[in-house]
């Protein structure tokens, strides 16, 4: 199954944290198909905190959505993510944005991610690697939705995607 994942970090060596998360995903058997550039992004909601580094990955795995959720939560735990203030600072945050055309609505997991289309820090990197993907509930391509976020938070490209990770 193909997923789109959002990675974010705003504590310590943000770039290294994103790299470590990618490595742990691969070590768990998740194949990275595409990765966006890394973007430095202004915090949203809880604004009194350091800026984030964000990246979106297109990945492939045999894991179903609940197993994928368990994996990303395990990686966050391994990387010492400490729950604090809601939307507050963190070493790593991994969100499942999309799971092919699937819609999942459980107590623990909602796919597509419910705030996906409202956040520049997710939509801009997602549009970079999947502009033609049709949102399964909004029925519009990501390239159109990125123009409609209404989000005024600043997002600036920091690092181009690695060509080694771009191989399909």
Residue boundaries of the structural domains of the chain: 2-166
Catalytic one of 14, 22, 93, 151: 93
Closest C-alpha among 114, 65, 91, 74 to residue 9: 91
Residue 164's pLDDT band, with cuts at 50, 70 and 90, is very low
Active site residue 14: no
The CATH superfamily holding the domain 2-166 is: 7,8-Dihydro-6-hydroxymethylpterin-pyrophosphokinase HPPK (3.30.70.560)
Q: What is the DSSP letter of 36?
A: P
Q: Which two tokens stand for residue 129?
A: 């690697």
Catalytic one of 95, 115, 151, 156: 95
Location of structure tokens 């959002």: 6
Q: Which two tokens stand for residue 55?
A: 């990246």
Active site residue 151: no
Q: pLDDT of 27-62, one tens digit each? A: 999 999 999 999 999 988 777 789 999 999 999 999
Q: pLDDT of 77-135, one tens digit each? A: 999 866 665 666 888 999 999 999 999 999 999 999 999 999 999 999 999 999 999 99
Active site residue 45: no
Active site residue 81: yes
């Amino acid at each position: 199954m193909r997923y789109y994942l959002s990675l974010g970090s705003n504590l310590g060596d943000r770039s290294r944290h994103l790299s470590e998360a990618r490595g742990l995903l691969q070590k768990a058997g998740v194949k990275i198909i595409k990765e966006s550039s890394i973007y430095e992004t202004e915090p949203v909601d809880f604004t009194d905190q350091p800026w984030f580094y964000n990246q979106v990955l297109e990945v492939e795995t045999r894991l179903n959505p609940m197993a994928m959720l368990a994996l990303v939560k395990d990686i966050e735990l391994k990387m010492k993510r400490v729950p604090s203030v809601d939307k507050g600072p963190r070493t790593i945050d991994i969100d499942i944005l999309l799971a092919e055309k699937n819609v999942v609505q459980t107590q623990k997991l909602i796919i597509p991610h419910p705030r996906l289309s409202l956040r520049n820090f997710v939509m801009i990197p997602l549009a970079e690697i999947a502009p033609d993907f049709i949102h399964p509930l909004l029925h519009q391509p990501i390239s159109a939705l990125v123009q409609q976020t209404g989000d005024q938070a600043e997002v600036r490209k920091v690092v181009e995607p690695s060509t080694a990770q771009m191989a399909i």
